[in-house]
Amino acid sequence: MTPDTKLMSTITLAPMEGVVDYLLRELLTEAGGIDLCVTEFIRITDYQLPTQTFHRYCPELKHGCRTRSGTPVHIQLLGNSPERLAFNAVKVTELGALGIDLNFGCPSKTVNRHNGGAALLQYTGLLYDIVSAVREAVPDTIPVTAKMRLGYLDSELAIANAKAIEQAGAASLVVHARTKLQGYKPPAHWQELVAIREAINIPLIANGDIFSVEDALKCREVSGCNDIMVGRGVLRNPDLPAAIASNIQNDDPDAQWQRSLALIKRFTEKVAQVPEDPEQEHPYLITDPRRYLDGRLKQWLSMMGKSSVQARQLFEQVKQQTSIQDISNIIQEAG
């Protein structure tokens, strides 16, 4: 199989715990180019989680499991018990999920200590059991997919793991082209995706270090994968998926910053719409709005600051602020 010459087939917005939630999914998918979103991981340590937990991670469940602009959202589950994952997958499917994604890539020490996320890449048989339990439990019409890294300490099991995931019935596989040990250290090893892609028949979605249209084209050329998942690149530049989809690089950084700033302002405005009655459900948030401006917005701005001077300056201005009002004022006055 060689990559064809047409543009990317699909672009998935990467799940990013602590940053990409309902509100960001709404804003980022409006900018165009994103075909699919995945929720932050929902940790499954028990049998049936309360409905409210699923709605908190994925308010889109109440609206056909799509963002306002119509992009489907799949639910990501993280855990190591095939039975518990299957049980909750059924529950969230009954709540309206359009697809279930299984997390085999999280490098967090806490998650790995409990044998979750990337730690599972050491146990090919367990990966098989998890995917097949979930696959068998949910209706055939619901795709079950997986997201993994090249491996835990090394990539020795990469092909065996990918094959096990395929044989267990996964519809597609995302591979973040690094091991857990490599963390986020550049570069992503796109060339290691070639052997995995050649070993399986389900779509392999390439992920890691796509920050520009050139990166997307290079990743496809090196890996042979037509489908990609992009995370931090979209947070740095919300126009990136549309630019990749149309193969047009927007190279005017000032115009790009103005569009990014407009999104940041809309994010801040939406967060500030706190209902007077605390019992009343916020249209966008389920947790304390301070966590959004103090946590998620700062996280987003600091990521954007990696490629934009203006974002870095704005981040410096809000970094020490904790009051919603002060942060909102600084953002709204930014020009």
304 alpha carbon, distance to own chain's centre: 16
User: Residue 117 in contact with residue 106, Cβ under 8 Å?
Assistant: yes
Contact track, ligand FMN, 144-173, x by CB under 6 A: ---x--------------------------
Number of residues that bind ligand FMN (CB under 6 A): 22
- Under rule CB under 6 A, which residues in 46-85 are in contact with ligand FMN? 76
Kindly state the smallest distance separating residue 177's Cβ from ligand FMN, in Å.
Answer: 8
Other beta carbons within 10 angstroms of residue 306's beta carbon come to 12
Give 17 or 60: the residue with its C-beta nearer to ligand FMN.
17
According to CB under 6 A, which one of 224, 233, 238, 241 is a site residue for ligand FMN? 233
Taking CB under 6 A as the rule, does residue 207 contact ligand FMN? yes
- Under rule CB under 6 A, which residues in 82-141 are in contact with ligand FMN? 103, 105-106
Taking CB under 6 A as the rule, does residue 14 contact ligand FMN? yes
Kindly state the smallest distance separating residue 275's Cβ from ligand FMN, in Å.
Answer: 28
The residue number with the shortest CB distance to ligand FMN is: 231
Rounded Cα–Cα distance for residues 187 and 98 (Å): 33
Taking CB under 6 A as the rule, does residue 243 contact ligand FMN? no
Strand partners, 175: 148, 206
Taking CB under 6 A as the rule, does residue 209 contact ligand FMN? yes
Taking CB under 6 A as the rule, does residue 17 contact ligand FMN? yes
Taking CB under 6 A as the rule, does residue 21 contact ligand FMN? no
DSSP code string of 254-313:
HHHHHHHHHHHHHHHHHHH---SSTTSPPSS-SS-HHIIIIIIIHHHHHHHTTT-HHHHH
* 131 Cβ contact partners less than 8 Å away, ≥ 6 residues apart: 102, 144, 146, 164, 165, 168, 169, 170
Rounded Cα–Cα distance for residues 88 and 77 (Å): 9
Give 84 or 232: the residue with its C-beta nearer to ligand FMN.
232
Kindly state the smallest distance separating residue 231's Cβ from ligand FMN, in Å.
Answer: 3
Rounded Cα–Cα distance for residues 79 and 112 (Å): 10
- Under rule CB under 6 A, which residues in 174-203 are in contact with ligand FMN? 176
Q: How far lies 323's CA from each of 176, 274, 286, 295, in Å? A: 36, 14, 18, 12
Catalytic residues: 106
Give 311 or 328: the residue with its C-beta nearer to ligand FMN.
311
Kindly state the smallest distance separating residue 334's Cβ from ligand FMN, in Å.
Answer: 23
User: Residue 209 in contact with residue 186, Cβ under 8 Å?
Assistant: yes
Taking CB under 6 A as the rule, does residue 19 contact ligand FMN? yes
User: Residue 9 in contact with residue 33, Cβ under 8 Å?
Assistant: no
Report which secondary-structure segment, H or E, holds 42.
Answer: strand 42-43
According to CB under 6 A, which one of 8, 11, 12, 16 is a site residue for ligand FMN? 16
Six token digits for residue 163: 């094959």
User: Residue 98 in contact with residue 73, Cβ under 8 Å?
Assistant: yes
According to CB under 6 A, which one of 8, 25, 34, 40 is a site residue for ligand FMN? 40
Kindly state the smallest distance separating residue 229's Cβ from ligand FMN, in Å.
Answer: 7
- The residues that touch ligand FMN, with contacts defined as CB under 6 A, are 14-19, 40-41, 76, 103, 105-106, 147, 176, 207-210, 230-233
